[in-house]
Structure formats: C-alpha cells, structure tokens
Amino acid sequence: MGIIRILPEHLTNKIAAGEVVERPSSVVKELMENALDAQASRISVDIKHGGKSFIKVADNGTGMDRADAELCIKSHTTSKIRELEDIFSIASLGFRGEALSSIAAVSRLTLKTRDRSQEVGTEMHLIGGRVESLREIGIPVGTTIEVADLFFNTPARKKFLKGEKSEYAAIAEIITTTGLAHPGVAFKFARDNETVFDYPPSSHLQERILQTHYREWDTHLLPLDTAQGGISIRGYIAGAGISRTNRTAQLFFINRRPIKSLPLSYALQRGYDGLLAQGHFPVAIILLDIDPALVDVNVHPTKREVKLQDERSILEVLTHAVRKLLLRGNHAPSLSFAYALDKNKKYFPRASEAPPEAGRKKEAARDMFRYPEVGKDALPVDLRAGEPDAPPAYDRQNRLEIKALLGQIGLSYILAETEEGLIILDQHAAHERIVFEDILTTLESSAPVSQPLLFPLTLELSFREAQLLEEYLTILTGTGFGIRHLGKNTYCVDATPPWLENRASGDFIRDFLHEIMEGKAERSLHERREESAKILACKARTVKANERLSQEEMAHLVKRLEKTKRPFTCPHGRPTFITLTLDDLDKQFKRK
Ligand code: ADP
Ligand code: MG
C-alpha cells in the first residue's frame, strides 16, 4: 500500500514559511523588496509590539490589478522570472515567488493594491493563507500589506521569537540598511504609532548616510569609486583612524542587496594591511554592482548569501581600490559632507572627544603601571579602599599566600615564594583577575566610584546597539559610568569609572556592546554582570607583558591577588600562576 502522499498546499506553504519568514524583520525585508521591485519611491513601515502583532508596509509602486492580486498570494507566483534562464541573471530583489504566500500562510494578511490601469483597487483578507474576503476599494495606485498576528498558527515558531525590543531593533536596522542601498527612495518607519525616522529621498548615498545613524562616521569616510572589468565598487570606507574590534561596522551590498560575506570582509581588511592594529576591523559601506549574470543569489532562501563568479578577481579589485585610497596620503577629514546639507535642520550633536593632551598622555603612559598606595589613587586595584576587615569567606585551601617576593623575569613574570615552593606569576593575567573581581565587587556595592568627564561624549548608536545599551545600562552605571539618554538612539557619557582613565571614548562603549552582542543571547543577571566585568577588565588599564615593575608594584600586585576569591585563573580561564613545588625541585635534583 502506498504510504507517500503529496502534501496539501496549506502545509507546504507553512513549511516554506519557515525558511523565508524567520521573524518580523524578515517579513519587513521581503515586503520592502517587493515595494522596491515595484519601483516605489516612497515606502513606509509601521509596526506594533516589535512587529509581532502588526506590520504594515505601504508603497507607491506600480501596484497590481485584481487578477494579479489574486495570484500573488499563491505559492510560486512571480512576475519577475519566466524561464529557467532568468534565474541566472536576476535584476530584481525577489524572484522566488514565495514571500507573499509564505507570509500569508502564517498570519492574518490584508492586501490592498491598485495599478494604474484600474479605476478602483482590490482588497483581500486572508487568514493562514485562506482567502476570506475580496472586494473593491478606492485607493491610490500602490500596494499596502498588513500582516497581523504573525505565527498565530505556528505556536512553536512564535515561541522562538525574541522580545519586542529586540525585534524592533532588527526591523529598524534592516530598514536603515535597505535605505542605504536605495538613497533615492523615501523611507518612513513608525513604531507603536510614533515615528522613529523619516528619510526623505536623497540624491546621493552620502546624503542618505547623513540621515541615518551612520552619520557619525561622516568625517572619517573616504569615498570609494572604481569600476573595472564589469564590476563597479562605490561607497565609503573609514580611514584607519576609526575601527572596530569586530566586523559589525561593515555593510556590503551586491546589486543593492545587503549581503553577508566573509571573503569580501577579508578583501577589505587586506586593503588595510599594516594600517590597523591586530584585532581591529575597518568601518565601511560598500556597494558592488556586478553583472547579474555573474551573481548567483539563489543559494539561500533569504538571499542573504550570494555566489560570485570569478570571485577572486572581484576581491582583488576591492582590496586594490581600498589600498589605493588609503595610501593616497593624508586621510584627515577628506569627506566633509558634514551637516551642510540642510542648514535649517538640526541634527544630533556630533560625537566630541577630549582634545589630545600630549603632555598628559605621556605622563599617563609612564604612570600606567605604577601602583599607588591603597586608597590613594583610583586604579582598579584600589577600588576597594583600605584592607578588607575580614578575609573573604572561602576555603582556606583555595588561597594563595606569598611568603616572599623574589623578582621579575622577562619583564612579564613575577617570581615569588610560597609555603609549597616557587610560583611564577603572569603579571597581566594576575592584574586582570584583580580588576575583574574589583569590578564585580563594585557592581554588588551600591556606590560605584565615578569620575566626571571633562568633555562628555555624545554617542549615536545603531538600533541594536541602543537596545543592548538599555539592557546593560544598570550594569554600566553600576561600574561607574555616567550615561544619559538624550533622545532616540543618542546617549551622553559624562562620567566613567576611575580605572578607565583617559581611555574613555565612544568606541569603548560600542566595542563593549558588540562584544556582548557576539556572546550568547539569553543571560541571567548574574551572567550579565560576569560577562560585563570580563569585557571591562580586558579594556581596563592593566599591566601588560613586557613592562618593568618596581619591587613595590610587584608587592602590591601580589598582595591584591592574594585577596581575590579565585586567584588561580584570569577571567578568561588562563592560569595566573604556575607552581614549582619543593618536592618537584627535590626530584629534579635527584635528592629524592
Ligand atoms: P517575488 O518577489 O519573489 O516575485 P513575492 O511572493 O514576494 O515573490 O511576490 C509575488 C508577486 O507579487 C511579485 O512577483 C509581484 O508581481 C507581486 N507583488 C508583490 N508585492 C508587490 C508590491 N508591493 N507591488 C506590486 N507588486 C507586488
Ligand atoms: Mg518578493
């Protein structure tokens, strides 16, 4: 007896929906792509509850007639390709004919559309992909799609959605990113009936950048514009003056499609060879235009990844163009399309940084490794002023007790004697452990020490960054940061923990957020504190390898390590010291 069945369409659509529609932002992305494919010059997006309960995307594009409206919500219906060959030269953003049917299958969808040939428009209601009603409606040319109760009929999927704020941030980010690829199109975004942004149409990418939160890069950006062998590369790269500790500040577009591509990122990075410190990544917005026949976008349902023909030469052109631009000499603000755009319009205040103070800097560098008296200055090791009254409650066995300090070797290790024998201490790892525990202690206390900044920093964050900052705000302020919300995604940092010294900058907070972003998604408060302390300890002013320490400094470091709860490892789990016991020595010298 046959056991194989053809699945009914309502089921296959639900399954397909799982690939195309992961979360509210994927709905927004697909609907915006349709609007762009329909030549819209204005797109507006409205959401409620992070898009979970409601998403509306309205455009003034070509619209559809009644027959097309009835077809478009069925699976595998598209106006964009007709033959197999077409797949190999896609000029539109969509082509699979799957988005609308997939979205309809997992929501309550309303479609209103009218094309130029019609006097009246068409309105359709669908529930879980089934057409409930269809009628004529008087509307202007264009299309509006409302998606309510996403995943109402796939509860398992609904459960996996993140919180409203995080869905909101993802949506805001995708609209902004799409906006960069289409500067000529106006984008408007409202959340719970409040306008988040409203980008007017602009004539050039740089103008669009200024409308978005990427405007804070403006004075650092160098225009990239090159064409070679059928590809053109446009956009902006930042001079080596600003960089990030990860790749999140790199946006790549191929034929206006935002894509993720490590090879492109590597190629970009190669252009900066020798100009950026280890572990630093360039900031860039890069648009590649490549003959569609040389790009295969059909490798992933969400079209986020593409396959390039002759990728090597494309990468080389990119590296070369970046290199040439960077080596053109002085990269002092060569691009100042700064705020001259609209003189009447007040943009957010610019990120300001403390002016360089050469003298002080030098001094600070010299002071860096000096361990002031306990309670005197405010190095991290001194946050807990004075000696603790009683030894912390932990196992005595788990304690480190130094009998005598012997000296430093290789400018990186400290030798000391314990009851057991000899220990060799990694000075940097030890200091990180101390700072880490100090930060945690500060977090648990209610009165963090904090130092006002002479020049407060204004920080304009991306939506995702702002959402994370909100989440970690109490932790950051708990360690001594003074952070105020100025409006939208703009924040002001006006105080920092004393151990940060003059290292405070907008990038410090941003790097912190990005490192959090790269970690795991859900954390308990305790885990969040530990994670934050770990990241901050890494960024604090700590003793490094290859630094000469005075006897006094070593003594202080060792004494502070003795008082930590877990002296044996640095916060990342590497050992802070190794022991050579007397027993080992006896054996080595063949005494035993
Ligand atoms: P695809 O974009 O891959 O063709 P979709 O399911 O997203 O598939 O859309 C199906 C079809 O519906 C499109 O090919 C297009 O003809 C039509 N369509 C969808 N959205 C719009 C819109 N906003 N304006 C005009 N036509 C649209
Ligand atoms: Mg589409």
Q: Are residues 481 and 583 in the same domain?
A: no
What CATH number should be reported for the domain holding residue 372?
Answer: 3.30.1540.20
Q: Identify residue 201 by its one-letter amino acid code.
A: P
What CATH number should be reported for the domain holding residue 479?
Answer: 3.30.1370.100
What CATH number should be reported for the domain holding residue 142?
Answer: 3.30.565.10
Return the minimum-mean-pLDDT range out of 4-18, 138-152, 345-359, 578-592.
345-359
> Of 213, 210, 206, 217, whose CA–CA distance to 176 is shortest?
213
Give the domain-ending residue among 153, 175, 199: 199
What CATH number should be reported for the domain holding residue 263?
Answer: 3.30.230.10
| Residue 37 pLDDT | 94
Residue 78 pLDDT level (bands cut at 50, 70, 90)? confident
Does residue 162 or residue 365 have the better pLDDT?
162
Q: Are residues 480 and 575 in the same domain?
A: no
Q: Are residues 88 and 177 in the same domain?
A: yes
Among 135-144, 314-323, 513-522, name the most confident range: 135-144
Residues 6+ apart with CB under 8 A from 269: 276, 281, 282
| Residue 219 pLDDT | 78
Q: Are residues 421 and 549 in the same domain?
A: yes
Identify which ligand lies nearest to the alpha carbon of 77. Answer: 1
559: in domain: yes
Look at residue 197 and tell me whether its pLDDT is greater than 50. yes
Residue nearest to atom 17 of ligand 1 (CA): 72
Query: Is any ligand 1 atom within 6 A of the Cβ of residue 94?
Result: yes
φ, ψ dihedrals at 193, nearest 5° = 70, 10
Query: Is any ligand 1 atom within 6 A of the Cβ of residue 369?
Result: no
Return d(Cα 440, Cα 534) in angstroms, integer. Answer: 9
The tokens for 41 are: 């010059």
Among 59-73, 213-227, 387-401, name the most confident range: 59-73
Over residues 41-60, the pLDDT tens digits come to: 999 999 999 999 999 999 99
DSSP per-residue string spanning 339-400 = S-S-TTS--PPPP--PPP-HHHHHHHHHHTT--PPTTTS--GGGSS-S--SS--SS-GGG--
Q: Are residues 264 and 319 in the same domain?
A: yes
> Of 200, 199, 186, whose CA–CA distance to 42 is shortest?
186
576: in domain: yes
The single residue listed with the structure tokens 């130094």 is: 402
Distance 365 CA to ligand 1 centre (A): 60
Q: Are residues 119 and 25 in the same domain?
A: yes
Look at residue 272 and tell me whether its pLDDT is greater than 80. yes
Structural domain boundaries, residue 253: 213-327
- pLDDT, average across residues 531-536: 90
Look at residue 168 and tell me whether its pLDDT is greater than 70. yes
- pLDDT, average across residues 543-560: 90
4: in domain: no
Give residues whose Cβ lies within 5 Å of ion ligand 2: 34, 94, 99
365: in domain: yes
Counting atoms of ligand 1 from 1, which one is nearest the CA of 100? 6
* Ligand 1 pocket test, candidate residues 34, 62, 90, most atoms within 8 A of CB: 34
| Residue 398 pLDDT | 55
24: in domain: yes
| Residue 369 pLDDT | 30
Spell 317-354 as b/e; 16+ CB within 10 A means b.
bbbbbbeebbeeeebeeebebeeeeeeeeeebeebeee
Residue 588 pLDDT level (bands cut at 50, 70, 90)? confident
| Residue 521 pLDDT | 67
Over residues 279-322, the pLDDT tens digits come to: 889 999 999 998 888 887 766 766 677 788 888 889 999 999 99
Query: Is any ligand 1 atom within 6 A of the Cβ of residue 35?
Result: yes
HSE-up of 572 (CA within 13 Å, CB side)? 10
Residue 362 pLDDT level (bands cut at 50, 70, 90)? very low
Distance 101 CA to ligand 1 centre (A): 10
- pLDDT, average across residues 358-383: 33
Identify which ligand lies nearest to the alpha carbon of 97. Answer: 1
Q: Are residues 581 and 508 in the same domain?
A: no
Percent of all residues in the chain with a pLDDT value above 70, rounded to a whole number: 84
CB atoms within 10 A of CB 151: 19
Look at residue 385 and tell me whether its pLDDT is greater than 70. no
Over residues 469-480, the pLDDT tens digits come to: 999 999 999 999
Residue nearest to atom 20 of ligand 1 (CA): 34
Look at residue 378 and tell me whether its pLDDT is greater than 50. no
| Residue 184 pLDDT | 95
Residue nearest to atom 16 of ligand 1 (CA): 79
The single residue listed with the structure tokens 């009246």 is: 120
- pLDDT, average across residues 122-129: 96
Give the domain-ending residue among 199, 227, 253: 199
Distance 10 CA to ligand 2 centre (A): 19
Look at residue 190 and tell me whether its pLDDT is greater than 80. yes
| Residue 454 pLDDT | 79
- pLDDT, average across residues 526-541: 87
Look at residue 218 and tell me whether its pLDDT is greater than 60. yes
| Residue 450 pLDDT | 86
Beta bridge partners of 483: 493
Return d(Cα 543, Cα 411) in angstroms, integer. Answer: 11
Q: Are residues 45 and 137 in the same domain?
A: yes
Residue 2 pLDDT level (bands cut at 50, 70, 90)? confident
Q: Are residues 279 and 379 in the same domain?
A: no
Distance 28 CA to ligand 2 centre (A): 11
Look at residue 93 and tell me whether its pLDDT is greater than 90. no
Report helix, strand or coil for 116: coil
337: in domain: no
35: in domain: yes
> Of 164, 194, 186, whose CA–CA distance to 52 is shortest?
164
The tokens for 60 are: 């003034």
Do residues 220 and 242 lie in contact, with contact meaning Cβ atoms separated by under 8 Å?
Answer: yes
Distance 97 CA to ligand 1 centre (A): 7
> What pTM did the predictor assign?
0.70
| Residue 338 pLDDT | 32
Distance 207 CA to ligand 2 centre (A): 27
Q: Are residues 532 and 554 in the same domain?
A: no
| Residue 304 pLDDT | 73
Does residue 347 or residue 89 have the better pLDDT?
89
Look at residue 337 and tell me whether its pLDDT is greater than 60. no
Q: How many helices (H) and strands (E) does the chain have?
A: 16, 22
Distance 100 CA to ligand 2 centre (A): 7
Average pLDDT for the chain: 82
| Residue 384 pLDDT | 29
- pLDDT, average across residues 386-397: 37
Q: Are residues 33 and 135 in the same domain?
A: yes
Over residues 106-115, the pLDDT tens digits come to: 999 999 999 9
CB atoms within 10 A of CB 5: 6
| Residue 569 pLDDT | 84
Look at residue 166 and tell me whether its pLDDT is greater than 70. yes
332: in domain: no
N-terminal to C-terminal alpha carbon distance within the chain: 80
Residue nearest to atom 7 of ligand 1 (CA): 99
Instruction: Say how many domains are in the chain.
Output: 4
| Residue 13 pLDDT | 74
Give the domain-ending residue among 307, 327, 347: 327
- pLDDT, average across residues 456-466: 91
Distance 188 CA to ligand 2 centre (A): 20
| Residue 436 pLDDT | 92
Q: Are residues 111 and 42 in the same domain?
A: yes
Identify which ligand lies nearest to the alpha carbon of 96. Answer: 1
Query: Is any ligand 1 atom within 6 A of the Cβ of residue 143?
Result: yes
